[in-house]
Amino acid sequence: MTQPRRTLSAAERFDWLRLIRTENVGPITFHRLLERFGSAGAALEALPDLARRGGRTKPLRIAPKADIDRELAANDRIGARLICSCEPDYPEPMAALDDAPPAVSVLGHPHLLQRRAVALVGARNASMNGKKFAERLARELGEAGLLVVSGLARGIDTAAHAGALGSGTAAVVAGGADVVYPPENERLYRDIVQQGVILAESPVGTTPQARHFPRRNRLISGLSLGVLVVEAALRSGSLITARMALEQGREVMAVPGSPLDPRCQGTNNLLRQGAALVEGVDDVLRALDNLSPPTLRERQSDLFAQARPAVPSEADLESARAVILENLGHTPVAIDELVRGCQLSAPVVLTVVLELELAGRVQRQPGNQVNLI
């Protein structure tokens, strides 16, 4: 039976944060553990045994309570709210993602995240015309009642935030909510804190690294009804955001550009592949017309259901472990294919994969795929 979303107690929020900060526990694994054990506290107790069954020989590093106390204090110190994915103030479209962050730090005005949103992203080394167009478009989208989401990067992102500042804009950052990157955007960052909202998946104080940006990009698209790209080279982070938008079932839009400008090759290629062409705000509004924010999937909204998934017997798991390991390789394979190929039940495969992941022997990939490390 589906339960309504609810606000966690302080103790529950502590356990949620401790679980997601534990070694080898990513967002998908976190949600699997919650489904299996019913609470983050119960999952924390079960982790050492699960990792041992997956073949781990050294102890799993569970986040120390002192670290969680420090993180919560740091959030309070900068005035950020920690919002968990089951709570009413957590953005509904983002909660519908398979890999929704279990907890995010939000600085500024969290109520803005309840508005219908559109992402506007593009080249860091954008042209003057590209930045002017992005700023104007963002301003008009904000005036039309949409929340403009971007990543606070140089170029198009900066222009998008500046244009939508008066109506409210959301900056999804790769590091901690208190870390300004790039440094030259410090004034814009301060303005967004005052008039918009900053959202971060990483703990307060985290300096952004290259591996953080693809994770951030999935949240830019995940918050939004659609992603609009203004100038992007063929190999750019903006195209990663567009690809993630497609995987998440969001609309993809692009502004056409000169075939002589390398910064437009990526956007022109998106148009060639079927992205909606945008020459003005009306094109965006038409593309988003009648689209509703994705709803919370039963997997998420059922976190507190009384009935827990059936737990396979140890005999079934023991015989399945060797079969699943034999069928795994360094090339990602979908969980559904493992179920079919190994001729095992889904609960058995999911449990063994969970054990292997906690043991540090497999990693998850987009599209519900896993591979050996």
Segments of the chain assigned E as strands: 81-84, 103-108, 117-122, 147-150, 169-173, 197-200, 226-230, 251-254, 276-277, 333-334, 362-365, 369-372
Residues of the chain with pLDDT under 70: 1-4, 295-309
Per-residue pLDDT tens digits for 29-60: 999 999 999 999 999 999 999 999 999 999 99
- Backbone φ and ψ for 294, nearest 5 degrees, come out as -55, 140
- Domains of the chain in sequence order: 10-106 (no CATH), 114-288 (3.40.50.450), 314-372 (1.10.10.10)
Q: How far apart are CA 7 and CA 255, in angstroms?
A: 41
Residues 321, 352 contacting (CB under 8 angstroms): yes
CA-based max dimension of the chain: 65
Amino acid 300: pLDDT = 43
Q: 270 to each of 113, 148, 169, 241, 264, how far by Cα in Å?
A: 27, 21, 25, 12, 10
Amino acid 339: pLDDT = 93
The one-letter code for the residue type at 54 is G
The one-letter code for the residue type at 100 is A
183: which residues sit within 8 A by CB, 6+ positions away?
A: none
337: which residues sit within 8 A by CB, 6+ positions away?
A: none
Q: How far apart are CA 370 and CA 367, in angstroms?
A: 9
Residues 137, 120 contacting (CB under 8 angstroms): yes
Q: 41 to each of 14, 22, 234, how far by Cα in Å?
A: 9, 12, 45
Per-residue pLDDT tens digits for 245-299: 999 999 999 999 999 999 999 999 999 999 999 999 999 999 999 787 776 444 4
Between CA 315 and CA 321, with CA 317 as vertex, the angle to 5 degrees is: 125
Residues 253, 276 contacting (CB under 8 angstroms): yes
Mutual orientation of helices 186-195 and 156-164 as an angle, nearest 10°? 30
Of the chain, the end-to-end C-alpha distance in Å amounts to 37
- Using the 8-state DSSP alphabet, how is residue 262 labeled? G
Amino acid 295: pLDDT = 61
Q: How far apart are CA 171 and CA 365, in angstroms?
A: 25
The total of other beta-carbon atoms located within 10 Å of residue 127's CB is: 18
The gap from C-alpha 328 to its chain's centroid, in whole angstroms, comes to: 26
Give rounded-to-5 percent helix, strand, coil for the chain. 45, 15, 40
Residues 228, 119 contacting (CB under 8 angstroms): yes
Amino acid 290: pLDDT = 78
Question: What tokens were used for 17?
Answer: 């944060």
Strands 169-173 and 197-200: parallel
